[in-house]
Amino acid sequence: MLQPPRPRWKRAALRLIARSVHLLHGGNRFSQAELAEIRNFLVLQYESPLGSVVHATPLFEALKLALPDCHIAVAASRMAASVLELNPYIDRCVVTVNPFGNFFGSVWAVQELLETMPPGPRCVITTIGNQRTRLVFLSLLTGSALRVGYTLAPELYDVPLIFDPERGQIEGNLDIVRSLGHDVPFYEPRVFFSRQDAERAAQRLASVAADPGAPRIVFVTQNSGGQRNQWSRAYFQQVISGLSSATGAVPVFVGTEKDAIPIDDLRTDLPDKGISLAGKTTIKELTALLAQCDLIVSLDTGTFHVARAVGLPGVVIAPAWQSPLEWLPVHSEQYRVLRGPSIREIPPEYCIDEISVEQVRDAAQTLMGKFPADPAQRAARVERSVS
């Protein structure tokens, strides 16, 4: 990821601060061998897009499996905590004051987290999406911890990294662990939920699927609003109707509260309207619900990444203006990433019209042939993600 150009005065100020920090701590504090000995890690996780938080989860698993005796704490926004708080690879996940709303309040909260860590050197980590300069100063003001990861102020980091979108966000976040001297493999994202979340999801699904063996297909027809990656409402209706007719699948619609009305409008003309849970689930309940379905057909949005995190096979309708390598599982047999020829600029009122109804329907049916509806597989996904 290319760093945006910065004013000359800002570059000079950051260099001056970096020299001051360097002198304060007596030069380079850690050799590569000493980096590998660090056991206390604080991850700052304040990014708002759901997908960014999900793509950071492999870092925690990789770090804890590489260093079973390490202590991992997360200072998080409320949304990030809802994704991470049941993660068994994290020792503490604490919702703190938001540094972008109350900077000095967050300094106190993060300092308290650092001070309650076990004895030994401490490392503050910023994952992709959390590279904002304010988080650098947050870590500077909370104590003498090593700073590692992605940042817009590399002068102030002990181990700054540069993100390459063509390697993907997951590999980029795993590179943080590798930069500390640990040779870790690739890990898929994982999101966890409680047994109660799973039971509530099962009850909701049972209300529309009397036959537990009938396929359950989740449809994500609305994007998050931050990017132009919509697909035609009429196209979605044709795919949903065709799959319901051909496979006997129960359509399950998910989304945010603001998605509820457009989803209900889309369902109006469907022969099987299924169930809409838009705005009716927490993130953990949504995760548990996805684990108990059989396929997802989705726009490239946060819910698809959550589905991947529980191992639900799926078809994703991806925009042509963004490389799929950054976000999507293009090389996995469990997924079909449908995308047209690359374009450099996003046209006004862009819609992914280059992807046809036939492409989506055929991809979905192919995956259902490889990964048929199976209550045993649903149960296995639940057990793998329940915490």
Three-state secondary-structure class, residue 216: strand
- pLDDT tens per residue, range 305-362: 999 999 999 999 999 988 899 999 999 999 999 999 988 888 877 889 899 999 999 9
Domains of the chain: 8-179 (3.40.50.2000), 195-385 (3.40.50.2000)
Angle 283-291/375-385 helices, nearest 10 degrees?
Answer: 140
- Half-sphere exposure (CA, 13 Å, Cβ side) for 129? 22
Give the DSSP H or E segment for 265.
helix 260-267
- pLDDT tens per residue, range 198-248: 999 999 998 776 677 889 999 999 986 656 678 999 999 999 999 999 999
Please state, in angstroms and as integers, the Cα–Cα distance from residue 338 to each residue in 5, 129, 206, 252, following that order. 34, 25, 31, 21
pLDDT at 286: 97
Which two structure tokens, joined as six digits, stand for 331? 């090389």
pLDDT at 137: 86
Distance CA 135, CA 152 (A): 10
| Residue spans of beta strands (DSSP E) within 176-287 | 216-220, 250-253, 275-276
**What is the reported pTM?**
0.91
Q: Is the pLDDT of residue 1 over 50?
A: no
Distance CA 271, CA 334 (A): 28
